[in-house]
Chains A and B, each alone.
Chain A
Amino acid sequence: MNVTLWGTRGSLATPGAETARYGGNTSCVGVIGRDGTVLVLDAGTGIRGLGKTIAPTVRRVDILLTHLHMDHIQGLGFFAPLFRADLEVHIWGPVSSHISLRERLMRYLSPPLFPVSLRELPCMITLHEVPCGEVAIGEFRVSSALVCHPGPTVGYRVADARGAVLTYLPDHEPALGSTEFPSLPLAWTSGGGLAAGADLLIHDSQYSAAEYLSHVGWGHSSFKDALAFATLSGAKHLVPFHHDPSHTDIDIDRLMKDAMAEITPACRVTTALEGATFQI
């Protein structure tokens, strides 16, 4: 599969010269299968650029939302393919106890927050609530599980027919409640089942270790904890992702260097850079 990072920033889009290298768009990852299956992981502002690359011949797109915080859905209304009447769009998102996925999405995709409502979009939309076991989407097998982050939030594990695995955990705080992370086996760690042995693990790394101490419970990880989680899960390649909006490119370089000095990961590490592409 071909994996492209269209938005790597967390919380808030952060354009400008100081963030130009790692990127200012919020979470969005495009996954293209060998047979042309198109998956879109989250609909942050990065999805606008991805939308421009969807060929008119594509008949189906699946958008997999981890949760409905604004930085993960804000680009949805600017995803040009939604305005194609001949396109089948499947939106997958986390279940809630009381309000349907449609109703929660419509809170954003309706006036006054957005001029076009969900039901007015020309494409053929089908909504799916997750987690719902393993599902087949084109050539991919996709599984999801609730993970540690405020509000209903899932992570995704995408496997192709050849067994290559991508795990996507952009907003994830597996260290919550641990005095020293990781202190428990993988089975007892949030997101462990999704990340086990992944070929490519895209994981939250919003904070420095010092910043994390004043943000415990906010649902995000430090670079150091992301490295530790990758090692615990046996991932082969970690992509630290969801950069804090206050971090400049220079800050991110420094945070990564500091974390690597403290913990030696057992896998390859490539900090998420907007526009980067991975083949797995």
Chain B
Amino acid sequence: MNDAKSIQIILARQLASCIATPVLLVDAQNSLIYYNEPAEAIFNQRFDETGEMPASEWTSRFTAVDDDRNPIPPADRPMGRVLAECAPVSRTMWMRVSGGDWRHLNVTAFPLVGEKGQLFGAMSIFWAI
């Protein structure tokens, strides 16, 4: 079975599904493989409806700007940087999905690194400011 997820990713999803903080989970290719129910409010869509999405698709659903209202391209957002740098990233930003309200958030992303340094993906939490 080639699509079997690693235990690190499975446990990350189980944790995300049990907490009230909005969480996104991406794989090592930055495909969005899960977001929890609290994050559905930010996404304005249910995970059951969207399913997994490649990076090009899910990142284009958000508009993100910094505190001075300068656009933040996907590669500079925490989830983009965390995989490129393989290090935790945290920043504040304004975000909205198409037709939604702007939300002022602190976004913290951290890599999921397994034994022997293998990168499995990353988790991102969203904290309303």
Contact = CB atoms under 8 A, between A and B. Distances in A.
Contacts of B4: 145, 186-187, 192-194, 196
B69 interface: no
Contact of B13 (A97, A148, A188, A194): A188
Given A177-B15, A178-B14, A190-B10, A97 B1 contact: no
Interface in A191-222: 192-194, 196
Contact of A146 (B3, B7, B13, B18): B7
B6 interface: yes
B5 interface: yes
Contacts of B5: 187-188
B85 interface: no
B84 interface: no
**Interface bin, chain A:** 20 to 34
Interface of A: 95-97, 145-148, 152, 176-178, 184, 186-190, 192-194, 196
Q: Which of B1, B3, B15 has most A Cβ within 10 Å?
A: B1
Given A146-B6, A196-B1, A177 B115 contact: no
A223 B5 CA distance: 24
B1 A176 contact: no
B10 A189 contact: yes
Given A184-B13, A186-B4, 4 more contacts: A145-B6, A146-B8, A187-B1, A196-B4
Contacts of B7: 145-148, 190
B111 to A, nearest CB: 14
Nearest to A147: B7
Given A177-B11, A196-B1, A97 B115 contact: yes
Q: Which of A147, A176, A190 has most B Cβ within 10 Å?
A: A190
A193 B4 CA distance: 5
Given A177-B17, A192-B1, A95 B115 contact: yes
Given A176-B14, A177-B11, A95 B116 contact: yes
A196 B3 CA distance: 11
29 contacts: A95-B115, A95-B116, A97-B115, A145-B6, A145-B7, A146-B8, A146-B114, A147-B7, A148-B7, A148-B11, A152-B115, A177-B11, A177-B14, A177-B15, A178-B14, A184-B13, A186-B4, A187-B1, A187-B3, A187-B5, A188-B5, A188-B10, A188-B13, A190-B7, A190-B11, A192-B1, A193-B1, A194-B4, A196-B1
